Structure formats: C-alpha cells, structure tokens
Amino acid sequence: MGRLHNKVAIITGAASSMGLAAVKLFTQEGAKVVATDIAFEQLQTVTAGMENVLCLTLDVTSEEQWNKVVADAKSAFGKVDILINNAGVSFHKTLLEETLEGWNRTVNLNLTSVFLGLQSVIPAMQENGGGSIVNCVSLAAVIGSADNGAAAYAAAKGGVRALSKHAAVNFAKDNIRVNSVYPGAILTGAAERHGVTDRAVLGKAFEGIIPLPPFAGEALDIANGYLYLASDESKFVTGEELIIDGGWSSK
C-alpha cells in the first residue's frame, strides 16, 4: 500500500520542476492529485497519460480560482486531505532596485497566494476531520546570503514561514498540520530561466558554499520532503521547518 493511499492532494505550480515531481511521486504513492498551475496547457502536456490526476487552472493570486479548485476537488474526489503550496517565483531585484509595483507583485505571488490557499482549503479539511498542508518557503527566509538579489522574495518567504507557524498552532485543534519545506539551491525551471540547465553546472557555482556533493539539489529531493510531511508518517509533526539544502545553512 502506498504512503498516500486514499489521500486527495492539491498541488500548486504543478506544471514543472518540484510541483511536477510531487505529482508523479504522490500518484505513485497512491494519492489522487489535483494538479494546478497558471500554465494550464503545459500542465496538461506534462501530465498526459498519468492516472488519478485532475488538471485545473489556478493562478494562486486569485481568490475566486482558489475557491473553484477546492469545490472541483471535492466534487471530483469527495474531500481534500493535502495541500502543497509549491508555486512561487523570485524576480531577483535587490532592495534598492525594487519598485513598489515589483514588491507588491512578489508579495502577492509568494505570500498572499499562501494566505488565499489556507483560507480556501482549511474549511474543507475541517469538514473532513483534518489534513496536512505543506508550504514551500526558501533558505532566503532564513539566511541573508541565500538569494542576495531578491529582497521582496526573501521578505515574502519570511512571511510564509510566520504564517505557517501561525496556522499550525491555530488549527492543530482540527487535526490540521501545517509544515514548511525550505529548498536551498535546486536545479529547476527557475535556474533554467537563468541559463543553467545542468545540475553539475549549478553545483559548480555552489562548491565551497554547500558542503554536500553534488552541491546542488534536484526537484525530487524537495518532492520527497513534501511526501514525508504530507503523509501520516509525520502525524505528530506540525509547525516544523524541513530544510533541504545539502548543509548550506549549517555552515
């Protein structure tokens, strides 16, 4: 029996990288997955042929779309057990470069999105007798040297860190757990957009900074963290921060 047997999971940013790795892993472990992304056509293409996957459009900054996704998940699969708030984007603007418009866009996409997700999913989990929420934060919320060029992103992810702990404490009474995963340097679409498509090349840039070879992670490393925190194996774990960074933050 799979580690997510009989569970229904909503995953955001599921059309690529960590989100897509989680869709694959969760279905292999027996979950029914509501895979969502703003890039709907890409999502349909990359999940084509996968069983137990329902693809839905979700711009995580839209309250209306969040409510529709939760309603559609319940009508398709009867309940929601798991939410993986994976979607997030860094625009790499330093504190002095950032504009108010850019600040608001980054905070909206990385922090307000998680607030909207929690608001729409928690009532469904309360009805269901509990659930597990996993928020993707970043090492940028913990150490100032991670993603130096992204002031608004670091601040927004710091907000997700605080919101996760707030929700963990306030909804424990409903048997709803809220934990966070903190990726370090991981080869994903984000690195690829900056021209780095090879894990060895990304690792080379982090040699001397990250202790553990190959000095850069892959999407599956993060999806495995999501899996542990989503599953009942972590049933007494809430408000926790799982850092997956090859030892970077321990230096």
Ligand X SMILES: NC(=O)c1ccc[n+]([C@@H]2O[C@H](COP(=O)([O-])OP(=O)(O)OC[C@H]3O[C@@H](n4cnc5c(N)ncnc54)[C@H](O)[C@@H]3O)[C@@H](O)[C@H]2O)c1
Q: Which CB sits closer to ligand X, 78 or 247?
A: 247
Q: Which stretch binds ligand X (CB under 6 A): 2-10, 46-54, 82-90, 230-238?
A: 82-90
- Decide if residue 159 touches ligand X (CB under 6 A): no
| Min dist. Cβ of residue 95 to ligand X (A) | 18
- 86 touches ligand X by CB under 6 A: yes
User: 61 and 108 in contact (C-beta within 8 Å)?
Assistant: yes
Site string (45-74) toward ligand X, x via CB under 6 A: -------------xxxx-------------
Catalytic residue among 153, 182, 226, 228: 153
For residue 87, CA distances in Å to 102, 215, 242 come to 17, 24, 17
Nearer to ligand X, 179 or 188 (CB): 188
Kindly tell me which residue out of 9, 11, 17, 231 binds ligand X, with binding defined by CB under 6 A. 17
Distant-in-sequence, close-in-space partners of 196: CB < 8 Å, separation ≥ 6: 187, 202, 205
Candidate residues 190, 209, 220, 237; the one interacting with ligand X per rule CB under 6 A: 190
Nearest residue (CB) to ligand X, 2 versus 211:
211
End-to-end CA distance of the chain: 39
CB of 86 to ligand X, least distance (A): 5
User: What are the angstrom distances between the C-alpha of 29 and each of 39, 127, 198, 212, 232?
Assistant: 25, 24, 28, 28, 12
- Residue 225, interface with ligand X (CB under 6 A)? no
How does DSSP classify residue 233?
Answer: G
Instruction: Please indicate whether residue 226 is annotated as part of the active site.
Output: no
Assess 143 for contact with ligand X (CB under 6 A): no
Task: Decide: is 16 part of the binding site for ligand X (CB under 6 A).
Answer: yes
Contacts of 14 (CB under 8 A, 6+ apart): 20, 22, 23, 33, 35, 36, 37, 43, 47, 86
Torsion of CA 68, 74, 79, 81, to 10 degrees: -30
Quick one: 157 or 177, whose CB is closer to ligand X? 157
Least distance (Å) from ligand X to the CB of residue 22? 10
E strands, the chain, are 8-11, 32-37, 53-57, 82-85, 131-136, 176-183, 186-187, 217-218, 241-244
User: Which of the stretches 8-16, 24-32, 76-84, 226-234 binds ligand X when contact is defined by CB under 6 A?
Assistant: 8-16
Q: Which helix (H) or strand (E) holds 25?
A: helix 17-28
Q: Which residues between 19 and 48 bind ligand X (CB under 6 A)?
A: 19, 37-39
> 110 and 147 in contact (C-beta within 8 Å)?
no
- Contact set with ligand X (CB under 6 A): 12-13, 15-19, 37-39, 58-61, 86-90, 109, 136, 138, 183, 185-186, 188-190
Which residues have a catalytic role annotated? Answer: 153
